[in-house]
C-alpha cells in the first residue's frame, strides 16, 4: 500500500453531500425505481423499500464513509488493509475492496449503455420523434436498440463525458460538476411535478398509487426486489462511497451526513414517482410497463401532452445529469484503486479504466442486436451484467463493508467517525452493521439463486 496524501479533496461538507447524493441519485431513481415499484404494486412495495433503506442501506453507507475517512488512503483495498493491520485483523479484508472495484467495473459497463440512451432521447424528445413513426415510441426504442453503431457511439460518448470530468480531479472536476448538476436536477424535477399537477390532473392518483398500500399485491419476491433496489439506489457495496468519504477532511460526525445523503436519494426517488406516474396515468399506460417505462411509455405520453416536446427534453436532461453524477463516482473509485495500487497517474488511470469498461460496455450494447444470440447462464450479456452486479456482487460487497465496520473497527473509532457518542445509537448502529445488514444480503442472494 502506498499512502499518497493529496491536496485534493472536497472544499466543504456540502461538496461531499452533493457528490455522494449525486452518486446515489441516478438511473436507479428515475429509471428503475418507478418501474420496479409499478411492477410490485406501488405503495406496499414503497414501504418495504423505505425500511430496507433505513435498516440496511443506511448502515452500509455510513460504514463505507467511516472506513474511507478512517483509512490511510483513498482506495478501498488500501483503506481496508491498513485498518485491519492496525486492528490486528487479517489484511485479507482488502479483498472486499477488490470485489468492490471489480463490481464497479462491470456495473459501469452496463449502466453506461443506458446512460447513453438518455443522451439521444433528449434529441428524440425535441424532434418529437415518437410522433413521427407509426409504431410510436415502441418502434423508436426498438430502432435504437437494433442499431448497433448508434448504440456503441452513444455509449462511447458517455464514457468520454464521464472521463473528462474525473480527469479534472475531486475538487476541480467532480465537485465543480455536481455543484451545477445537482441543483439543476432538483429544479427540473420540481418543474415536472408542477407540470403533472397542472396539465395532467392525475397527480392524486399517482400519489395514491405511491402512498396508499395494498398489501395483497406483495410477494416474497417483492422483498428481495426492495432490498436489491435499496443497494442499487444508495450506491453501496462497490466502495464508491468509501472513496468519497476518504476525501472528507474535516472531523465532524458522519452519521448525520450519511442520513442526509440517503434522505436526498429517497426524496428524489419518490419525487420522480410523483413526476412520472401522473404522466403515465394521463395517457392510460400501465404503471407496470417494465424497464421500458421511461424510454417507451413516457415518450409516448409526451407527444400526447401539451408542450410535451420541451417537457420530454427536460426530463431526459434530468436523466443525463443523474446518470453522469453516478458514473463519475464509479470511475473515480476505479481511478483511486489504480493510482494507489499500481502507482498510475490520474491520466493513465482514467484513460485505461475507461478503455477497459468501454470494451465490456460495447459487448453489452451489442447484446441488444448483433450479439443477441450470445447467451450465458440463460441471459444476454447486458442482462447478465445487470443481474450479476446488482443481485450478487453489490450485496456481497455491502455485507463486507458492514461486517468490517461492525466487527473489525473498534467501538471507539466507530463512535469517533459517526459522531453519535457511546450510547444506544452506537449500539444500534453496530447491531445493524454486524447482523441485520448481512442477513438482508443473505435474503437477496437466496432469492437470486432460487429464481
Binding region for ligand PHE (CB under 6 A):
23-24, 26-29, 107, 232-233, 235, 238, 240, 326, 329-330
Smallest separation, CB 89 to ligand PHE (Å): 26
Which residue, 213, 206, 220, is CA-closest to 41?
A: 213
Cα separation, 353 vs 334, whole angstroms: 7
Cα separation, 203 vs 328, whole angstroms: 34
Cα separation, 316 vs 295, whole angstroms: 9
User: Which of 105, 302 has the CB closer to ligand PHE?
Assistant: 105
Smallest separation, CB 282 to ligand PHE (Å): 26
The residue to which cell 448538476 is assigned = 181
Smallest separation, CB 230 to ligand PHE (Å): 10
Smallest separation, CB 105 to ligand PHE (Å): 11
- Sort 347 into a burial class: Cβ within 10 Å, 0-12 / 13-18 / 19+: exposed
Grid cell, residue 388, equals 450479476
User: Which of 27, 144 has the CB closer to ligand PHE?
Assistant: 27
- Sort 448 into a burial class: Cβ within 10 Å, 0-12 / 13-18 / 19+: middle
- Sort 135 into a burial class: Cβ within 10 Å, 0-12 / 13-18 / 19+: exposed
Smallest separation, CB 197 to ligand PHE (Å): 25
Grid cell, residue 387, equals 443481474
User: Which of 200, 354 has the CB closer to ligand PHE?
Assistant: 354
User: Which of 274, 420 has the CB closer to ligand PHE?
Assistant: 274
Smallest separation, CB 90 to ligand PHE (Å): 26
- Alpha-carbon Rg for the chain in angstroms: 21
Smallest separation, CB 236 to ligand PHE (Å): 7
User: Which of 232, 295 has the CB closer to ligand PHE?
Assistant: 232
User: Which of 103, 200 has the CB closer to ligand PHE?
Assistant: 103
Smallest separation, CB 372 to ligand PHE (Å): 25
Grid cell, residue 98, equals 477488490
User: Which of 240, 308 has the CB closer to ligand PHE?
Assistant: 240
User: Which of 32, 430 has the CB closer to ligand PHE?
Assistant: 32
Cα separation, 27 vs 294, whole angstroms: 10
In 3-state terms the chain splits into helix, strand, coil percentages (rounded to 5) of 80, 0, 20
User: Which of 130, 178 has the CB closer to ligand PHE?
Assistant: 178
Q: Which residues pair with 376 in a beta bridge?
A: 379
Q: Which residues pair with 379 in a beta bridge?
A: 376
Cα separation, 168 vs 110, whole angstroms: 24
Smallest separation, CB 392 to ligand PHE (Å): 14
Contact between 117 and 154 (Cβ < 8 Å): yes
Amino acid at each position: 500500500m502506498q499512502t499518497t496524501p493529496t491536496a485534493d479533496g472536497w472544499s466543504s461538507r456540502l461538496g461531499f453531500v452533493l457528490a455522494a447524493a449525486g452518486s446515489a441519485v441516478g438511473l436507479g431513481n428515475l429509471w428503475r425505481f418507478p418501474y420496479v415499484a409499478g411492477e410490485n404494486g406501488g405503495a406496499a412495495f414503497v414501504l418495504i423499500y423505505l425500511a430496507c433503506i433505513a435498516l440496511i442501506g443506511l448502515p452500509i453507507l455510513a460504514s463505507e464513509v467511516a472506513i474511507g475517512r478512517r483509512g490511510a488512503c483513498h482506495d478501498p483495498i488500501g483503506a481496508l488493509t491498513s485498518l485491519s493491520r492496525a486492528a490486528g485483523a487479517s489484511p485479507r479484508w482488502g479483498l472486499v475492496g477488490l470485489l468492490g472495484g471489480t463490481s464497479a467495473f462491470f456495473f459501469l459497463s452496463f449502466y453506461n449503455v443506458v446512460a447513453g440512451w438518455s443522451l439521444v432521447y433528449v434529441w428524440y424528445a425535441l424532434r418529437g420523434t415518437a410522433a413521427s413513426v407509426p409504431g410510436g415510441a415502441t418502434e423508436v426504442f426498438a430502432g435504437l436498440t437494433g442499431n448497433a453503431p448508434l448504440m456503441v457511439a452513444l455509449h462511447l460518448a458517455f464514457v468520454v463525458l464521464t472521463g473528462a470530468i474525473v480527469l479534472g480531479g475531486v475538487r476541480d472536476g467532480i465537485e465543480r460538476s455536481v455543484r451545477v448538476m445537482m441543483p439543476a436536477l432538483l429544479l427540473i424535477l420540481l418543474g415536472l411535478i408542477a407540470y403533472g399537477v397542472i396539465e395532467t390532473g392525475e397527480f392524486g392518483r399517482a400519489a395514491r398509487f405511491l402512498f396508499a398500500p395494498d398489501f395483497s399485491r406483495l410477494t416474497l419476491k417483492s422483498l428481495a426486489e426492495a432490498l436489491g433496489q435499496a443497494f442499487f439506489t444508495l450506491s453501496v457495496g462497490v466502495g464508491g462511497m468509501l472513496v468519497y468519504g476518504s476525501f472528507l477532511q474535516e472531523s465532524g460526525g458522519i452519521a448525520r451526513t450519511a442520513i442526509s445523503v440517503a434522505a436526498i436519494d429517497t426524496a428524489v426517488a419518490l419525487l420522480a414517482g410523483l413526476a412520472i406516474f401522473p404522466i403515465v396515468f394521463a395517457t392510460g399506460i400501465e404503471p407496470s410497463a417494465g424497464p421500458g417505462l421511461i424510454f417507451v411509455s413516457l415518450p409516448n405520453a409526451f407527444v400526447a401532452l401539451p408542450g410535451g416536446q420541451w417537457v420530454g427534453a427536460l426530463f431526459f436532461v434530468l436523466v443525463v445529469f443523474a446518470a453522469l453524477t453516478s458514473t463519475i463516482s464509479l470511475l473515480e473509485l476505479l481511478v483511486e484503486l489504480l493510482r494507489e495500487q499500481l502507482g498510475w497517474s490520474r491520466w493513465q488511470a482514467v484513460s485505461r479504466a475507461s478503455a477497459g469498461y468501454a470494451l465490456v460496455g460495447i459487448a453489452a450494447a451489442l447484446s441488444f442486436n448483433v450479439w443477441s444470440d450470445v447467451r450465458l447462464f440463460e441471459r444476454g450479456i447486458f442482462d447478465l451484467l445487470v443481474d450479476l452486479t446488482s443481485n450478487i456482487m453489490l450485496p456481497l460487497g455491502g455485507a463486507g463493508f458492514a461486517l468490517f465496520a461492525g466487527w473489525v473497527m473498534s467501538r471507539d473509532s466507530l463512535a469517533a467517525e459517526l459522531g453519535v457518542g457511546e450510547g444506544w445509537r452506537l449500539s444500534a448502529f453496530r447491531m445493524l452493521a454486524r447482523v441485520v445488514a448481512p442477513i438482508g444480503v443473505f435474503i437477496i442472494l437466496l432469492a437470486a439463486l432460487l429464481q
